[in-house]
Structure 1
Amino acid sequence: MARAGALMSAEIAEQPAVWRRQLEESTRQVDAVARRIAEYDPRMILFVGRGTSDHAGLYGKYLTEIVLQLPAGMVSPSTMTAYGARPALDRVLMIGVSQSGGSPDLVHSLEVARQQGALTLAITNQADSPLAQAAELELDVLAGPEQAVAATKSYTAQLLALYLIFDRLRGGSPDSAAALPDLADRLIAGDDGVRTLAQRYRFASRLVTTARGYSYPTAREAALKLMETSYLGAQAFSGADLLHGPLAMIDPQVPVLAIVADGAGGQAMQQVISRLAEVGADVMCVGNADAVAAADAGVALPAGVSQELSPLLEIIPFQQLALHLAVARGGDPDAPRGLKKVTETL
């Protein structure tokens, strides 16, 4: 009988190899996608996804607004599926993000968008999926089969795919992410430290994740991983939103998991960290060495990573934490109760 979490553990460890494969094998496809987008010259970019893939889309939204200086938004699929909306989408790029590419509501959203004049792009881990067939453009993230219910390698592969497209659109170098896989190998090697850290939260019933900027999608994804594997209440807040009311629920019994990476988002978190200290919060930090040293516990990220690429590394300690916390609580993160790998929403 396989040990609990064996699949999730293996897929977390595969991420550097997945990224190397993307960097080596997807250049032509990324170039072709970026060239078509540039020809189309969108005035706005919309993202549509569910769960983990929605968080990847949120990362894409930050890239759109910061790197390309274009407005961006997150699509609510039900407006087109349940309500039958048909918005005018000329000169809009809609990007559907999905590990399986099989969710009917995402497929329908891209079909409607294409009918309404949008350029459509599917980013999936299944090149022959219905989502890929519905879109004009498709990019395979090359993550390989993902068997654990909790998505890990497909999530970071989606982030890297989005980064590579947007970096090409601004004229960036294909080598801009070349160092990333080696840095991830170093981070993954600290798994024993995260296993020990998981004991700190073994009996927690709820917790909060928080970050700002490019790291906010990490906070959202970390909360989801902890909820679906460890069955505890995890709420994700932008650091700014946390200070606008939810801070009142924070006390020493509600752990706060914060991402404080290098860059503008990490700098914006300094006020949040100060306020958390004032209310006596137990803070675990994933981020730069100074922020981790000032927290109650944490994991330091490799130095010198751009704020655009940092989210690919930030999520790894949280994936490991979700894995080890679930096992410590007697569960199996490979098969969370009541969940399936592909959720077919309408």
Structure 2
Amino acid sequence: MTTPGHLMADEIASQPKVLAEVLSSYGEYLTPVLARLRTHDTRAVLLVARGTSDHAALYAKYLIETRLGLPVGLVSTSTYTAYDTKPALEGVVWIAVSQSGGSPDLVASTEAARAGGALTISLTNAETSPLSDATELHLPMLAGDELSVAATKTYTAALLWLWLLVEGWAEGDLSAAAGVPDWVDAAVDLPEVAEVASRYRFVERLVTTSRGFGYPTAREAALKLMETCYLSAHAFSGADLLHGPLAMVDEDRPVVVIAPDGAGGRTLEPVLEQLRTRGADVCLVAPMEVTATSQMRIPLPSGMDERLAPIAQIVPLQQLALQLAVSRHYDPDHPRGLQKVTKTT
């Protein structure tokens, strides 16, 4: 008999190796994509994805806006499918992110975008797929087969690929990512995660929050907790949390705060102050450079660039979802009612 969660556990542990493989192999795939981008008169970027990949796309949005200064949008696929819109997308770079590359709505909307004049790029883990066939350019995640329904290594691989794409497009220094596999390795097996899992074993409602580059991590962590532990997890940016949602926070609803070392972390200081005032049960996920206090803390590796930090930030939260699910006698490898490929149209 196999142990519940063994696939997810193995895939979380494999991430340093997967990321090292991406860093050793990206050149042959990325070079032609960058060459094409440099001949393209880009006025805007559109990103399309579903589920976990949607959070990778949100990360790319922050990267492109801060590094390239281009306007970026997250696509509503029903615009192109349910409403059969014929877009005029000359001057637009369309980036589609999908682990499987098989979601019909992603494929159909990408085909419409290409027909409308967009330069289309796909990032998928599948070697071949309808989505990669639909785009002019393609990048492979190189994560290997992912057998657990809960995506882990494809998420971090997608983040690294998107950083490489944007940093290369900006003609930056790609060697800045050399430390990523070591950061992730340091975040894979933190003893503090077990302490948090024990504290939150019987929690039914939870909030995750961050700002800037940490916000996609908050979104992805909430999704992992929902799909593996069946608890009600709500993700908010720190700015949004200070509006209406703050009213629902009290000592019975834990708040997981992802605080990067950098501008995003500094903007969370008033959020943490408000949470302290309300007596919230706060778990801080942050490097030791972030000196805020909290009831629980999951320490992240020090010295990470804020733009690259999300690749390591999510790893202990993947472990938290795994350990919480197993403690509740669930199998996170096979969440009930979920499949690997989203069949929306």
Q: Give the TM-score normalised by the residue count of structure 1.
A: 0.98
Residue number in structure 1 paired with 2:120: 120
- Partner of 1:47, secondary structure, is strand
What letter is aligned with 2:31?
D
Q: Which amino acid aligns with 1:250?
A: V
Native 8 Å contact 2:289 2:302 kept in 1: no
CA deviations 1:82-141 (Å, max 9, x no partner) are 011122111000100000000010001110000000000000001311100000000001
1:275 aligned partner? 274
Match of 2:137 in 1: 137
Structure 1 position 44 matched with structure 2 position 73 = no
Q: Kindly state the Cα deviation for residue 29 of structure 1 after the two structures are TM-superposed.
A: 1.1
**Equivalent position of 2:26 in the other structure:** 26
Identity of paired residues, percent?
Answer: 53
Asked if residue 247 in structure 1 is aligned to residue 246 in structure 2, the reply is yes
User: Aligned AA for 1:277?
Assistant: R
What SS class does the counterpart of residue 175 from structure 1 fall into?
helix
Is the contact between residue 286 and residue 292 of structure 1 (CA under 8 Å) also seen in structure 2? no
- Cα distance, 1:32 vs structure 2: 1.6
Deviations 1:267-309 (Å, cap 9, x if unpaired)? 1011100111000000001112154761111211111111110
Partner of 1:236: 235
Q: Tell me which residue corresponds to 2:165.
A: 165
Hey, what's the Cα distance between the residues in 1 that align with 2:163 and 2:254?
31
Q: 177-186 or 208-217: which moved more? A: 177-186
Is 283-292 or 64-73 further displaced after alignment?
Answer: 283-292
Look up the SS of the partner of 2:297 in the other structure: strand
Contact 1:81 1:109 in 2 (8 A): yes
Q: Is the 8 A contact 2:189 2:316 kept in 1?
A: no
| Distance (Å, rounded) in 2 between the aligned partners of 1:230 and 1:209 | 15
Q: Matched residues in 1 for 2:60 and 2:71: separation?
A: 11
The equivalent of 2:262 in structure 1 is 263
Q: Check whether the contact 1:150–1:228 (CA below 8 A) recurs between aligned residues.
A: yes
Distance 2:275 2:290 in 1: 13
User: How many angstroms apart in 2 are the aligned matches of 1:33 and 1:216?
Assistant: 27
- Determine helix, strand or coil for the equivalent of 2:88: coil
Q: Distance in 1 between matches of 2:192 and 2:286?
A: 15
Residue identity in the other structure for 1:22? V
Matched, 1:82 2:85: no
- C-alpha distance in 2 between matches for 1:72 and 1:334: 34
Deviations 1:41-78 (A, max 9, x none): 31101100000000000001001100000000100001
Unaligned runs of at least 5 residues, structure 2: none
Corresponding letter in the other structure for 1:230? C
Q: Using a 3 Å threshold, how does the CA distance of structure 1 residues 297 and 327 change in structure 2: closer, same or farther?
A: same
Structure 1 counterpart of 2:5: 5
Return the letter of the residue paired with 2:84: G
Distance apart, 1:35 and its partner CA: 1.8
Q: For residues 319 and 341 of structure 1, what CA distance do their matches in structure 2 show?
A: 17
Contact 2:192 2:297 in 1 (8 A): no
For the residue of structure 1 that corresponds to 2:55, the secondary structure is: helix
SS at match of 1:262: coil
Q: Distance in 2 between matches of 1:119 and 1:9?
A: 38
What amino acid maps onto 2:315 in structure 1? I
Identify which range, 285-294 or 72-81, moves more after superposition.
285-294
Cα distance in 2 between the residues matched to 1:34 and 1:273: 41
**In 1, distance between residues paired with 2:290 and 2:167?**
28
Question: 2: distance between equivalents of 1:328 and 1:251?
Answer: 24
Task: Output the aligned Cα RMSD.
Answer: 1.0
Query: Structure 1 residue 14: deviation in Å?
Result: 0.6
Question: C-alpha separation between the residues in 2 aligned to 1:75 and 1:305?
Answer: 30
Which residue is equivalent to 1:103? 103
Residue 68 in structure 1 maps to residue 79 in structure 2: no
SS in 2 for 1:53: helix
Q: Which amino acid aligns with 2:104?
A: P
The whole-number CA distance in structure 1 between the counterparts of 2:79 and 2:37 is: 25
Q: Does the 8 A contact of 2:88 with 2:117 survive in 1?
A: yes
